[in-house]
């Protein structure tokens, strides 16, 4: 097993005081770019938050999913990819990886996650 960043280069912050956070972030010289429109930070949409929570659950990692391939279609039996089969665009059975395609941050993202295919029918 190996852990990798789900969204490399991104830092997610949770706050109730968005304006104060924005002022404090502007003081940091090493911050290169904030997601937003103009100088305003744009928070994640509710769909994006739900998607990240579905993948990570109560932790900050994505657990391994398990599934089968039946007639060339992936069926996820357990794990965070349950219900997301339609977003899977590529599988590497030997490396136990799947790539899902979803819209995040206003653009399409290809995300690598763990998927153990336990049987092919």
The overall average pLDDT reported for the chain is: 86
Q: Render pLDDT for 50-89 as a digit per residue (tens, 0 to 9).
A: 999 999 888 888 999 999 999 989 999 999 999 999 999 9
Distance of CA 92 to the CA centre of its chain: 18
Q: Render pLDDT for 8-55 as a digit per residue (tens, 0 to 9).
A: 777 788 888 888 888 887 787 776 566 665 666 777 888 998 999 999
Which pLDDT score is estimated for 32?
59
Give pTM, 2 decimals.
0.77
Nearest alpha carbon to residue 77 among 96, 95, 64, 61: 64
């Amino acid at each position: 097993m190996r852990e990798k960043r789900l969204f490399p280069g991104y830092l997610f912050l949770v706050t109730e005081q968005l304006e104060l956070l924005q002022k404090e972030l502007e003081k940091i010289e090493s911050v290169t770019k904030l997601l937003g429109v103009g100088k305003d930070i744009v928070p994640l949409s509710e769909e994006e938050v739900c998607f990240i929570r579905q993948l990570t659950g109560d932790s900050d990692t994505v657990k391994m999913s398990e599934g089968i391939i039946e007639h060339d279609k992936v069926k996820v039996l357990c794990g965070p990819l349950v219900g997301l089969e339609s977003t899977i665009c590529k599988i590497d059975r030997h490396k136990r990886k799947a790539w899902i395609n979803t819209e995040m941050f206003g653009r399409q993202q290809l995300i690598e996650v763990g998927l153990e295919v336990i049987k092919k029918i």
